[in-house]
């Protein structure tokens, strides 16, 4: 695999991890508390820090990807037509929002509940940002990317990375329901990804589509990575189940959850990295131009 793709792999996964954390945090943790009018515990603030850290890693790697970073500010000048410009703008807005949210949470720990709208906004920006990111790849000149599989893949990556990470950080606190639902997400996304794979592959292999070259590249040049990804998915599912069944109703006594949740999260992260690397191998022009 070409090393030049690593910055993009890390950039995109980091941003998606960050947005995934925000979305899951917002929907699965804050939202139930909000509804049941519980006060927001300040111990969640460091989750924001992690999301922020991931976003910053993403920003740094997006620079590393550039051949001539000195001109980087110019990349904001074409949001009119360029999805890349929009993405960079989006990343900046998202990071700024996230940073603002985080800072506010830290400086006004008591404001908790009243800052929910900021978390909502950041998460929503994240969701939009992922859409923008996928639009970058949905171009006729890269037919293997130019399909609904791309946004689907990005969203699933975000959700599963966010969910599994939050599951890990829910150990010993959080509700039984949220732990269970995060575990279910951790299991079901790899299951969906596995289920989609044959559909995706048969689409890739269709002779009308770049002569089936995408599939050929997957199966001839990257067979090991291809199998590795399958194994990692299966592992993630297995660990997910393990985690699911270790969840006790007394959520403060869930020490046993740690090992499976960590393993699930690690295998999911690894699977997404391999997945993303394989995604970039599909950088094929029509017919090889």
Applying CB under 8 A, which residues contact other proteins?
65-69, 71-72, 74-78, 81-85, 88, 136-137, 139-142, 211, 283, 285-289
As measured in angstroms, the least distance from the Cβ of 94 to other proteins is 16
- The residue (of 80 and 198) whose beta carbon lies closer to other proteins is 80
As measured in angstroms, the least distance from the Cβ of 276 to other proteins is 16
Backbone angles phi, psi at 209, to 5 degrees: -105, 100
CA distances to 72, 78, 100 from 163, rounded to whole Å, are 33, 34, 23
Determine contact, residues 123/98, Cβ cutoff 8 Å. Answer: no
As measured in angstroms, the least distance from the Cβ of 278 to other proteins is 17
- The residue (of 41 and 69) whose beta carbon lies closer to other proteins is 69
- The residue (of 73 and 198) whose beta carbon lies closer to other proteins is 73
- The residue (of 105 and 142) whose beta carbon lies closer to other proteins is 142
As measured in angstroms, the least distance from the Cβ of 67 to other proteins is 2
As measured in angstroms, the least distance from the Cβ of 125 to other proteins is 19
First to last CA, the chain: 20
227-231, long-range: CB < 8 A, 24+ apart: 228/274, 229/271, 229/274, 229/275, 229/278, 230/194, 230/197
- The residue (of 67 and 198) whose beta carbon lies closer to other proteins is 67
Closest to 33 (Cα-Cα) out of 180, 183, 174, 172:
174
User: Any idea what the Cα angle at residue 280 is, between residues 226 and 276, rounded to 5°?
Assistant: 60
């Amino acid at each position: 695999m070409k090393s030049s793709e690593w910055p993009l792999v890390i950039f995109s996964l980091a941003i998606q991890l960050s947005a995934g954390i925000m979305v899951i945090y917002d929907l699965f943790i804050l939202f139930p508390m909000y509804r049941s009018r519980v006060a927001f515990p300040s111990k969640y603030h460091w989750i924001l820090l992690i999301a922020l850290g991931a976003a910053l890693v993403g920003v740094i790697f997006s620079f590393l990807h550039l051949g001539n970073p000195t001109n980087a500010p110019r990349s904001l000048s074409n949001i009119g037509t360029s999805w890349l410009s929009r993405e960079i703008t989006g990343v900046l807005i998202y990071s700024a929002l996230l940073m603002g949210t985080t800072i506010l949470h830290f400086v006004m720990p008591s404001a908790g509940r009243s800052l929910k709208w900021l978390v909502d906004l950041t998460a929503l920006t994240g969701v939009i940002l992922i859409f923008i990111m996928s639009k970058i790849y949905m171009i006729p000149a890269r037919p293997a990317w130019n399909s609904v599989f791309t946004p689907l893949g990005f969203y699933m990556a975000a959700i599963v990375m966010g969910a599994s990470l939050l599951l890990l950080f829910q150990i010993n606190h959080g509700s039984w329901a949220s732990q269970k639902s995060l575990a279910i997400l951790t299991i079901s996304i790899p299951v969906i990804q596995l289920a989609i794979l044959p559909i995706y592959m048969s689409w890739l292999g269709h002779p009308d589509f770049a002569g089936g070259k995408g599939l050929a590249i997957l199966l001839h040049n990257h067979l090991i990575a291809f199998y590795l990804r399958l194994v990692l998915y299966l592992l993630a599912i297995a660990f997910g189940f393990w985690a699911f069944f270790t969840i006790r109703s007394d959520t403060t006594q869930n020490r046993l959850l740690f090992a499976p949740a960590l393993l699930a999260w690690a295998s999911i992260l690894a699977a997404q990295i391999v997945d993303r690397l394989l995604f970039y191998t599909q950088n094929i022009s029509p017919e090889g131009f």
